[in-house]
Amino acid sequence: MSNTIQKYSDYVITSFMKSIQPVVVERASGATVTDVNGREYVDCFAGISVVNAGHNHPKVIAAAKAQMDKLVHCASYIYHSQPTADLAEKMAEIMPGGLTKTFFGNGGAEAIEGALKLARLYTGKHEYLSLQMSFHGRSWGALSVTGNYGRKKRGGPYAAGVAFLPAPYLFRSPWRDDPDEAVRQWAQTLEDAIRYSTSNDVAALIAEPVMGEGGIIVPPPNYFREIKKVLDAHKILFIADEVQSGFARTGKMFAIEHYGVTPDILVTAKGIADGFPLSAFTTRPEIAAAFTPGDHLSTFGGNPVSCAAALANIQVMEDENLCQRSRESGAYVVERLKNVQKHTPLIADVRGLGLMIGIELVKDAALTPAAAEAEAVREFCLHHGVLIGVGGVFGNVVRMQPPLVISRQQLDHALDVLEQALADVSGKKVRAAS
């Protein structure tokens, strides 16, 4: 066992997913990760959808280094730093209309907590609505609105006052071939939940525009429009959790833009600073004004180095047309995988937006989730130099979320390996069954 793996085992609290042998990474660039033995991998998971502009983008690194020479820490809420102010201004420019005021934190869960709190203060109401199969982070408030037993187990009981709605998981719904009917039903379940499962004291509904950990669940195009109508009628805020789907990942700067709806609060993290720790929630000025002095602070939030990196990162996204690249590469990947699906019964569904792509694996026509097979696919890919993710509430969704700068050549190589993996695992499955 390598020294690093041994030290993790001895000294780091590792409640990570049970997993195959970890890769000990020495350096990374773009979509290439190099381990301590000099072996290169094509990274199709981007550090769980974080380095959208690629690992160690030279412009992001240069901006961070330049900032480090000037000022590293500033406790932005007592003193102010230039990059934090500049980034807040930039966020107002790139956000959907009207969302112009930003609070900065350090990680996704922290930003979710702040958004939930702000919604309460603004509305004067106390309950929340969320989606089954959702994931919003590991802190207690975030877990309270998370709809996934796998993430919540052994941590409860959680906060009262959260009602969960069915996820807009078309593939596993009774209306798989009728998305309009599905949306009608889901809008009705929202009405019903407000009426029967709350005390009509709901501050906000929180939802991921594309559900990441739940298994790359992409709601139908009119889903959020219909949901927002119901929310508006009941004066309930909509918090869009774009921690995973934001920053060009889905082919638009924010995934909710695909749905023609503006959330009341939009939460970001992961891809915001290309790997530097930073998170944010952004809202309309009148909602932001519900925080009075001292209501909400974070010592490290809005760190100048992270903000300088984020500014450079967003500039790179604009200069290198990463939204367009995400759309084009994503369409290419989905087309190739749909062709593989035609002769691979293991693949039940290929879905995604931009480069946020899920491949749902099943054992049989009854759609029994093939979780062990998904793990086997990941392991095969790892051994053949390609890093992919596995997720979904049933653990049966292979996830392709590479850096958006990944080249066509790297994508082709990764897809060749993935195709071999799917064939290998399908073959094993057939042999095991006979």
Ligand X SMILES: Cc1ncc(COP(=O)(O)O)c(C=O)c1O
Contact between 274 and ligand X by CB under 6 A: the answer reads no
Q: How far is the CB of 429 from ligand X (least distance, A)?
A: 30
Contact between 377 and ligand X by CB under 6 A: the answer reads no
- Which residue in the set 43, 113, 226, 241 belongs to the binding site for ligand X (CB under 6 A)? 241
Q: Which is nearer to ligand X, 198 or 244 (CB)?
A: 244
Q: Which is nearer to ligand X, 113 or 349 (CB)?
A: 113
* Contact map string, positions 55 to 94, toward ligand X, x by CB under 6 A: ----------------------------------------
d(CA 211, CA 182): 17
Q: How far is the CB of 247 from ligand X (least distance, A)?
A: 13
Contact between 269 and ligand X by CB under 6 A: the answer reads yes
Q: List the interface residues with ligand X, window 148-207 (CB under 6 A).
A: none
Q: How far is the CB of 138 from ligand X (least distance, A)?
A: 6
- Which residue in the set 244, 250, 283, 298 belongs to the binding site for ligand X (CB under 6 A)? 244
- Which residue in the set 127, 208, 349, 360 belongs to the binding site for ligand X (CB under 6 A)? 208
Contact between 108 and ligand X by CB under 6 A: the answer reads yes
Contact between 280 and ligand X by CB under 6 A: the answer reads no
Contact between 114 and ligand X by CB under 6 A: the answer reads no
Q: How far is the CB of 40 from ligand X (least distance, A)?
A: 26
Contact between 349 and ligand X by CB under 6 A: the answer reads no
Contact between 137 and ligand X by CB under 6 A: the answer reads yes
Q: Which is nearer to ligand X, 278 or 376 (CB)?
A: 278
The 3-class SS string of the chain reads CCHHHHHHHHHCCCCCCCCCCCCCEEEEEECEEEECCCCEEEECCHHHHCCCCCECCHHHHHHHHHHHHHCCCCCCCCCCCHHHHHHHHHHHHHCCCCCCEEEEECCHHHHHHHHHHHHHHHHCCCEEEEECCCCCCCCHHHHHCCCCHHHHCCCCCCCCCEEEECCCCHHHCCCCCCHHHHHHHHHHHHHHHHHHHCCCCEEEEEECCCECCCCCECCCCCHHHHHHHHHHHCCCEEEEECCCCCCCCCCCCCHHHHHCCCCCEEEECHHHCCCCCCEEEEECHHHHCCCCCCCCCCCCCCCHHHHHHHHHHHHHHHHCCHHHHHHHHHHHHHHHHHHHHHCCCCEEEEEEECCEEEEEEECCCCCCECHHHHHHHHHHHHHCCEECEEECCCCCEEEECCCCCCCHHHHHHHHHHHHHHHHHHHHHHHHHHC
Contact between 243 and ligand X by CB under 6 A: the answer reads yes
Q: Which is nearer to ligand X, 47 or 369 (CB)?
A: 47
Contact between 346 and ligand X by CB under 6 A: the answer reads no
* Contact map string, positions 31 to 50, toward ligand X, x by CB under 6 A: -----------------x--
Q: How far is the CB of 432 from ligand X (least distance, A)?
A: 33
Contact between 136 and ligand X by CB under 6 A: the answer reads yes
Q: Which residues bind ligand X (CB under 6 A)?
A: 48, 107-109, 112, 135-137, 208, 212-213, 241, 243-244, 269
